[in-house]
Structure 1
Amino acid sequence: MGSWDGHFAAVAPVGVVSMAAENATGGAVSGAEKDRLPVEKDEIVTENQKKYKLQSILGDGGYGTVFLSHDKETRVAVKTEKYSRSMLHIEVNVLKAANLASCKHFCDLMDYGSKKPDYVYVVMTLLGKDLHKLRSELPDRKFSLNTATKLGIQSLRACEELHKVGYISRDIKPGNFAPGLKENKQAKIIFMYDFGLARKYIDRNNNVLPSRKEIGWRGTTRYGSLNAHLRLDLGRRDDLESWFYMLVEMTRGTIPWRLVTDRTAVQKAKEAARGSGRQQFLFEVPSQYDKILSLIDALSFEATPDYNALCKLIEEVREEKQLREKECWDWEEETVSTTVTTVTSYSDKELRAKAEKSK
């Protein structure tokens, strides 16, 4: 396993990195010359001389890039971020805690380290497409009730696992959940990932840290809790509120503020969803969803959510609709359906050709 060259605090401060770059080159370093991220075909060599050849880019953003690589015969994801901007130390801490607790819904932390003053890296389990992409690729951008409720249960259990190891996400959304890969025998498991905004919410004695009151915006506008809109400190209840918005969207295919970009307008829509707009918000979703929202809204900052009660309400939906027998995810059915159609079509042509020849 790699290291952060001593301690995590060295990863984040811009000033520290600038000085490190200056010392390494014997003079001032321009912005273009420092914080160089690796590129395709580069090779990362860890402290214990393990090598990861960076292949195709799986995703990138302002501060980092995720690459496909291999660990022996296993495909893995290598996440890299600019040294001066990286929050990967949080990711490492969360994954360490989750792996230690044998959490089901978290990637394995395989390796991590840094290449001063350019970038830090984390090697972890490779996952499939995220839930946002998977839903967007479906014909009506909507999961079946079977898939939506199974996703709801697994993503809720992922939140529970995160909370049990002492962290809150503060950015629960479909883009931060994805199924595992068939090659790893994890295709039926939904994983939570990307913990750049995660925060420890308990102290060393496992007591909930008191609210810091106003702290500024955290999260994603579409899924942020009402407390996030009020710039208040966030807790476990806020993760669950974001999870619920995600659940409704996965079930309905939309939420009333989906196309609204102004954060204040989104806040008003979420407030209306508790009153005059509640019927519109929960239109065509199971009646149990109304109860789930009420349970989440009743939680205090310090309260431990009753995850089992929330899961039981979703299981109730599945029982009412007799959804237990169906095992495939919607995206798996799509693949199977396409394959079958192609094969059948080809076979029909072949049969017709043979029939013509035999005439």
Structure 2
Amino acid sequence: MARVLRGDHKFNYKALLGRGTFGEVYRAVSEQTGQEVAIKKELGVPEPNRKLSTGRSLAREYRVLRFLDGGIGIPRPYYFVSGGDRDAMVYECLGQDLGELLKACGGRFGMKTVLMLADQMLSRLEFLHSNNIVHRDIKPQNFTMGLGKNAQIVYLIDYGLCIFVNPNLPPVPGIYGSVGVEMVGTARFASINAHAQIRSQTFSDDLESLAYVLIFLRNGKLPWQGTGDKKPFNLIRMSKERHSLSELCQGFPREFQEFIKDARADRLRPPYHAQRKMFRKALGVTGVLDWQYDWVVKSHESKQNKRSST
């Protein structure tokens, strides 16, 4: 189905890639150029949910992507179209997100894959933070793999909840924003501070969320998962506070405990290089940095099995 999006520029919508409370993402092809793109549409928000959508502006996300354009693992924005309460953004088409790939691999990744992902995911956050931006919604679904020649590159997506922080503030941890802010992000992966709502989120909160994501990718679950994310936020927070690092990182290289300690220390500028070095040291014991992720190996094995059966 072809739709006019910008002037006389038409796109053939090929598939619905995802749908949320406030928008939809489609895979589409330009009739003029044949280029495959992703189109994110922000739907009109019902009145009861209007307050919830505050800060999830697609126009804002487009501006952030334009600001970050050129960074490795950052989706390339093409253009933005405003249509009243139904804005749309055209941007680089990407592959599957880590949540989808996790399901395809049986719900758990091997340690080697987790450590290779950690290396790239940490690099994406370092780049984001170097531009004084906090993402505030780090979760498996917001990391996707590229396509074609970029198939081994991890992309960080969905900047609808991100905030710019003031780089001119005094170098004192925990004073970036106002007190009493509402919980923002996904409860399962949110930092303890995001639950406590004492201050606005900082770079360290993104890193703590990343630690929970990595543990989830390896174990397929987190200790505070009960009835999904329907469990009250305060109960999830108390569970995070109650579990010791040794319990949380059981079966993981000791570097994971050090990483979470660093994240919870709320440093103004986290030691990204040292953290990446820790993960690479752990990877040296587990395997090599060859970008042969579990889903890549599984795909190769599947093709070999098909050949041998014919």
State the TM-score bracket (shorter-chain normalisation): 0.7 to 0.9
Q: Which residue of 1 aligns with 2:269?
A: 304
Q: 2:59 matched to which residue of 1? A: 89
1:105 is displaced (CA, Å) by 1.2
Structure 2 unaligned regions, length at least 5: 46-52
Assess if the C-alpha contact under 8 Å between 2:19 and 2:25 holds in 1. yes
How far does the alpha carbon of each residue in 1:292-344 deviate from its partner, in whole angstroms, 9 at most, with x for none? 111112224xx1111111101101101223x2264321111111111211221
Distance 2:26 2:169 in 1: 36
More displaced 10-residue stretch of structure 1: 192-201 or 258-267: 258-267
Q: Which residue of 1 aligns with 2:37?
A: 76
Alignment correspondent of 2:49: none
Q: 2:203 aligns with which of 230, 236, 243?
A: 236
Contact map agreement 1:81 1:88 (CA 8 A) in 2: yes
Cα distance in structure 2, aligned partners of 1:68 and 1:341: 31
Q: Does 1:53 align with 2:21?
A: no
* Deviation (angstroms), 1:224: 0.5
1:43 is the counterpart of 2:3? yes
Q: Shift in Å at residue 79 of structure 1?
A: 0.4
Contact 2:73 2:153 survives alignment (8 Å): yes
Paired with 2:2 and 2:178, the residues of 1 have a C-alpha distance of 43
How many Å apart are 1:254 and its aligned residue?
2.6
> CA separation in 2, counterparts of 1:327 and 1:278?
28
Q: What does the per-residue CA deviation read over 1:248-282, in whole Å, with 9 as the maximum and x for residues that have no partner?
A: 22233332113353322211111023xxx332211
Decide whether aligned partners of structure 1 residues 103 and 326 sit closer, same or farther in structure 2, where only a CA change above 3 A counts: closer
Change (3 A) 1:245 1:151: same
2:240 match: 270
Structure 1: give runs of 5+ residues left out of the alignment.
Answer: 1-40, 347-359
1:341 aligns with 2:300: no
Q: How far 1:89 sits from its partner (Å)?
A: 1.6
1:87-112 CA distance string (max 9 Å, x none): 1022112101110xx21011000111
CA distance in 2, matches of 1:210, 1:59: 33
Q: Distance in 2 between matches of 1:62 and 1:244?
A: 26
Aligned to 1:196: 160
Aligned length: 292
Which SS does the other structure have where 1:119 is aligned? coil
Letter in 2 for 1:304: R
What residue identity is the alignment partner of 1:194? D
Contact 1:252 1:285 in 2 (8 A): no
Q: What amino acid sits opposite 1:114 in the alignment? A: S
| Cα separation, partners in 2 of 1:259 and 1:44, compared to 1, 3 Å | farther
What is the aligned partner in structure 2 of residue 109 from structure 1?
77
Question: Is the Cα contact below 8 Å between 1:218 and 1:231 reproduced in 2?
Answer: no
Separation in structure 1 between the aligned mates of residue 137 and residue 119 of structure 2, nearest angstrom? 18
Letter in 2 for 1:295: D
Q: Which has the higher contact order (CA 8 A, sep 6+)?
A: 2
Aligned 8 A contact 2:109 2:294 in 1: yes
> 1:330 is matched with which residue: 288, 294, 299?
294
Q: Deviations over 1:90-138 (max 9, x none)?
A: 2112101110xx21011000111112x3411111111111111211221
Distance 1:45 1:245 in 2: 39
Cα separation, partners in 2 of 1:145 and 1:152, compared to 1, 3 Å: same
Match of 2:24 in 1: 65
Mapped contact 1:252–1:284 kept (Cα < 8 A): no
Offset at 1:197? 0.8
| Contact map agreement 2:59 2:80 (CA 8 A) in 1 | no
Contact 1:44 1:54 in 2 (8 A): no
Residue in structure 2 matched with residue 351 of structure 1 by the alignment: none
In 2, Cα distance between equivalents of 1:206 and 1:294 = 24
2:139 to 150, 173, 188: 173
Q: Give, in whole Å, the separation in 2 of the partners of 1:228 and 1:186.
A: 33
1:292 to 259, 267, 272: 259
Instruction: Quote the Cα distance in structure 2 between the aligned partners of 1:156 and 1:79.
Output: 26
- 8 A Cα contact 1:44 1:53, kept in partner: no
Structure-2 separation of matches of 1:197 and 1:97: 15
Q: Once the two structures are aligned, what percentage of the paired residues are identical?
A: 25
Per-residue deviation, 1:42: 4.6
Question: Counterpart of 1:317?
Answer: 282
SS at 2:150's partner residue? Answer: coil
- Structure 1 vs Structure 2 CA RMSD: 2.0
2:155 aligns to what SS in structure 1?
strand
Q: Distance in 2 between matches of 1:113 and 1:325?
A: 41
CA distance in 2, matches of 1:259, 1:75: 40
| 1:237 Cα deviation from its structure 2 partner | 0.7
